[in-house]
A = this chain, B = another copy of it.
C-alpha cells in the first residue's frame, strides 16, 4: 500500500529510460489534500546533492503538493547544471500538475557525479502524471530501487481512522545521519507542519539514524512526511509520533535486511550506559568495525573485536567492567574471558550483540549487517 495507504494521495512509478536496463526509475507522489502540510529530514553530509538543496529550500514553507523521485542517477556533485536540472524537474511536475514548482520536492538516487538524462527524465514526469492513481504506491516504491533486491513499504493504521504509510529505498551507503535512502511517508491525519516535523525528527533519531550498514554517509538522504488531512482526524501527538516511529523502524529494518551482500542482520544493544549519547557512540563504533563484521559473517563470536571497538570511543566505562553477550551468551565478563564461546549459536540470520558498559542505565540499539565478499563484489564490479 505504501504511500497511497493513507487517503488523499496518488502515486505512480514508471520507466522513463534513465536506467539503461529499462527498469522503472521515476516515481511521482501527489498530495490531493485537503491539507498539504509537510516536513523533511536530510543528510547531514556537507556535500549535498542538488535535489537535497532544492527540497530543503521548498520545505521551508511547511507545504508540499508533490514529490518527484528518480533512481538511475543521484544528481550529486554536478554543480550549477545539476541544480538547474533539479529545478527543471520541479517545474515540469508543477506544469503537468498545475501547481507551483515551489510545492514540489525532488529526490534522486544512483551514481554520484553524472548528469541526469533530462531528455528522458522530463517526458517521464509527464508520463508518470498520467498514471497517477490511488493504488500507485507499490509501483512508486518499485521505481526508486537501485541495488535494492526488493522494494520496501510499511503501513500503520490507527483504530481512530488515520494511517501512516511509506516507502523506502536503500541498500548500500547506509550510515547514520541518515542512511542512504529515499523515504516518503504519507498520512491522512490532520496535522500541521510543525507537528509533522517534530514527529519525523523524533522518529528518525531512533530509527534511520541508528541504521549503519557500511559507515558511508550519502549525499542524497531524504525522508519526507506529507499529510493530507483527508481522514479528518487530528490524533494526539503521542499516538501519531508512535505510528511514525513504527513505520520508520520497520522500513529501517527492511533496509538492513536488504543491505548489499549481507548475510547477517546484527542488532547491537548497548546497555547500562551513562548517557544515551554514550550508548549510541559505542553502538556505532561496534557497527562500523570491519573486523567484527567479517567475524560475524564467519559465525565467529569474536568478542575481542567488540571490546576494541568500544575502546576507541569517548563513552564512560572502565575496561575491566565491560560485559559482552553474543546471542545471549556472556562471552566476555568484566573485560575478560567469560562463558564458553562455543555455546554461541550463530546459524541464524539475526545476531544480537549486547554490550554492557556498566556505567549507568541508558540504552540504545543500533543495527548493522555483516561484511561479506558479496558486498565487495557488488561495490567493485561496477560504479554504483
Contact = CB atoms under 8 A, between A and B. Distances in A.
A75 to B, nearest CB: 11
B379 A112 contact: no
Contact of A335 (B79, B172, B297): B79
A76 interface: yes
Main secondary structure, interface of A, reads loop
Contacts of A78: 336-337
A304 B110 CA distance: 11
Given A215-B288, A216-B291, A114 B337 contact: yes
Contacts of A76: 304, 307-308
Interface in A286-326: 288-291, 294-295, 297-298, 300, 302-305, 307-313, 317, 319-320, 322
Greatest chain B CB density within 10 A among A217, A305, A335, A379 is at: A379
A376 B294 contact: yes
Contacts of A337: 77-79, 113-115
A383 interface: yes
Interface string A211-240: 000111111000000000000000000000
Contact of A304 (B111, B309, B322, B331): B111
Greatest chain B CB density within 10 A among A47, A115, A322, A377 is at: A47
A199 to B, nearest CB: 27
A112 B45 contact: no
B79 A320 contact: yes
Contact of A371 (B79, B80, B115, B376): B376
A114 B331 CA distance: 11
Interface string A79-112: 1111000000000000000000000000000011
Contacts of A113: 302-304, 307, 331-332, 336-337
Contacts of A74: 304
12 contacts: A45-B311, A46-B311, A78-B337, A79-B336, A112-B302, A112-B305, A113-B302, A113-B303, A217-B312, A290-B375, A291-B379, A294-B379
A294 B288 CA distance: 16
